[in-house]
Chain A
Amino acid sequence: MSIKVINSGLMTTIQDKGRMGYQASGMQVSGDMDSYSASIANALVGNEDDAPLLECTYLGPELEASEDVLVAVTGGEPKVLVDNKPVHAYESLILHKGQHLKVASMDEGTRAYIAIDGGIDVPLVLGSHSTNLKLGIGGAEGSKLYNGEVLNTGRPTDLAKAIISGKSHIRHTDHGYMAHHHLWQESNHGDSHEIRIVLGPQDDYFTPEAVKSLDGAVYTISNESDRMGYRLEGDIIQRATQRDMITDGIVFGSIQVPPNGQPIIMMADHQTTGGYPKIATVTSADLPLLAQCSPGSKITFKVISVEEAQDIYVQFRLAMKEQIALMDKDTEDAGWPDSRPGVRNYNLKIDGQLFQVSVEEVK
């Protein structure tokens, strides 16, 4: 089974959960920028959580299926078309032989994820399928996708077989309610998104006033922002000492402050080490949200404690597991209230009690 890349889009790469285990050798982790949306896309087609999939930026690709295949698109609010007709994101779609899937643009957010059942079949390089553009390894020969390229897909999942043969309902999820719909709305403070941060490791390199005013500070994501880092524009962060820092380790979310005082947030393709002091670190639960913020948009920092951040992140991970478990349950359930075509059935958990809900579009 294979997928032909009719148009590669602006910047489409193959990613998974990243190349862990080689950072002591100076090798970047790479991997999904919005790990949450990637996981949901994979779950929608019955893939393993870390199956290789496509990450696209702004303008997604146009793909053609060589056989019937199950696909799903998530991340932000992508405009998805099958043979030029709009279809839903955040649900599994049968792409019949010869049909074209197109991720035309993003109504909101920056990055869309396209999962294909069985995952994209590319070689494992040092334990990961993620594309590392700098070293030219992983993904499809270490490069972003190009027009005309053919991508093989892995062994079809049981879910895909069941859905394609009509034995099972398509799978959908409550519109990416965490990273996107829910978090996006909840974090929206007028014209900016709230990004929670934890102070350190080098907050003592900055004046107490600078550290204090970081809480609530608004920054604009500049155009010089990519998978390596987001350069921010806003108030200059004042150093308390001109003492040089000795190079140390960096994580996804580290907020570096170079001598010009304008912070840079290190993203998925960041270097493993760096010599600029890091005033704070973005909380893990807010990284998917940050990955969806686009150049020109504003973010507001909110300082929380490391303990709070861990509570939030653990809840986030458990909620994601539950969201995926509910999808599994949707698929297993035989006696749906309404199985007419066009009707969607959800398992919905409200105050700990499970409800079955059928929704039909008003024509």
Chain B
Amino acid sequence: MEAMRILTVGDCAVSVEFGQEISLEINHKVMALKMVLEREPIRGIVELIPTYCSLLIQYDPMDLRYGQLRERLEALVTQLDEVEMPPKQVVEIPVAYGGEYGPDLVEVARAHNISEEEVIKLHSEPEYPIYMLGFVAGFPYLGGMNKAIATPRKQSPRLKIEAGSVGIAGEQTGIYSVESPGGWQIIGRTPLKLYDVNRNEPVLLKAGQYIKFKPITKEEFRAMENEHKGN
């Protein structure tokens, strides 16, 4: 594993980088440092943004200077192996695959010469780690998709993809948290809202958790959607 580096991000932030590849081992270090800094806050740190390999730490130089922060972090990172991580959390995401909710399921199945059912099985089998959230509010960057269903993005992107759409882009899978344009192959949709500003916790998922997709019928989808509207 590569050595840890503290990178300068202007006069109000640093980035602690634990390596330069997408791996759970590296991502766990990012999460461990975040947890330590949340448990025992350093005065002057104002926000933490975890990503695949690094933790961005924003701080206020009125309270904490670069040299001081560096020293504190260098001492902290030596203890990360001893940090006890919380138990694995798996969030179940119900997905209606195919049809109006997953218009590209047919195309993905055809691309690999397998049945639609096989795609659904391969996609809903794994527990996908959430490495980070970014791009827009609530969008999870997932790892661990079976390469047997890896499919290139669509030739021409759609102008509008509904929130909750589950898609494949190359070797990645993901869920659109808000409505947006995009070129992913859409294979299904979840009635859960990954982002809802009116909810106490506006964003459903957290980096460090795992996702498990659970196939549901279109009727179940509609029932769950109505239930959310009722709330």
- Using a CB–CB distance below 8 Å, which chain A residues touch chain B? 20-28, 125-126, 134-135, 137, 198-202, 246-251, 253-254, 271-274, 278, 281-284, 306-307, 309-310, 313-314, 317
Expressed in whole angstroms, the Cα–Cα distance for A188 and B62 within the complex equals: 27
Name the residue on A nearest B178 (C-beta): A135
Q: How far is the CB of B32 from chain A (nearest CB, A)?
A: 15
A-B contacts at CB below 8 angstroms, number: 136
Chain B hits for A24, CB < 8 A: 47-50, 133, 206-207
Chain B residues with Cβ below 8 Å from A25 are 133, 137-138, 202-203, 206
**Size of chain B's interface in residues, with CB distance under 8 A?**
46
Complex A-B: 12 CB contacts under 8 Å: A27-B202, A198-B8, A198-B10, A200-B8, A246-B52, A246-B53, A248-B53, A249-B55, A272-B49, A281-B11, A310-B65, A313-B61
Report which of B65, B132, B136 forms a contact with A247, defined as CB distance below 8 A.
B132
Question: Are A249 and B51 neighbours in the complex by a CB distance under 8 Å?
Answer: yes
Interface on chain B toward A: helix, strand, loop, or mixed SS? loop
- How far is B10's CA from A199's CA once the two chains are assembled, in angstroms? 7
- Closest Cβ of chain B to A15, distance in Å, is 17
Q: Find residues 192-224 in chain B having any chain A CB closer than 8 Å to their own CB.
A: 195, 197, 202-203, 206-207
A86 CA to B49 CA, complexed, in Å? 46
Q: Is B21 an interface residue (CB 8 A)?
A: yes
**Which residues from chain A contact B48 at a C-beta distance below 8 Å?**
24
Complex CA gap A134/B7 in Å reads 30
- Report yes or no: A126 in contact with B134, Cβ–Cβ below 8 A: no
Nearest Cβ in chain B — how far from A355, in angstroms? Answer: 28
Do residues B9 and A201 form an inter-chain contact, with CB atoms below 8 A?
yes
Scoring B50, B54, B56, B139 by chain A CB atoms within 10 A of each residue's CB, the highest score goes to B56
Partner of A137, one of B12, B49, B65, B197: B197
Q: Which listed residue (A21, A125, A134) contacts B136, Cβ 8 A?
A: A134
| Contact call A273/B66, Cβ cutoff below 8 A | no
**A23 in contact with B10 (CB, 8 Å):** no
The interface residues of chain B lying within 8 Å CB-to-CB of A307 are 65-67
Q: List, in ascending order, chain A residues with CB within 8 A of B178's CB.
A: 135
Given the complex of chains A and B, what is the CA–CA distance between A58 and B175 in angstroms? Answer: 38
Closest to B65 in A: A310
A249-B49 contact given A25-B138, A27-B137, CB 8 Å threshold: yes
Chain A residue nearest in CB terms to B15:
A201
Q: Given that A201-B15, A251-B58, A309-B10 are known contacts, is A23 also in contact with B47, CB under 8 Å in the complex?
A: yes
Contact B137 A248, beta carbon cutoff 8 Å: no
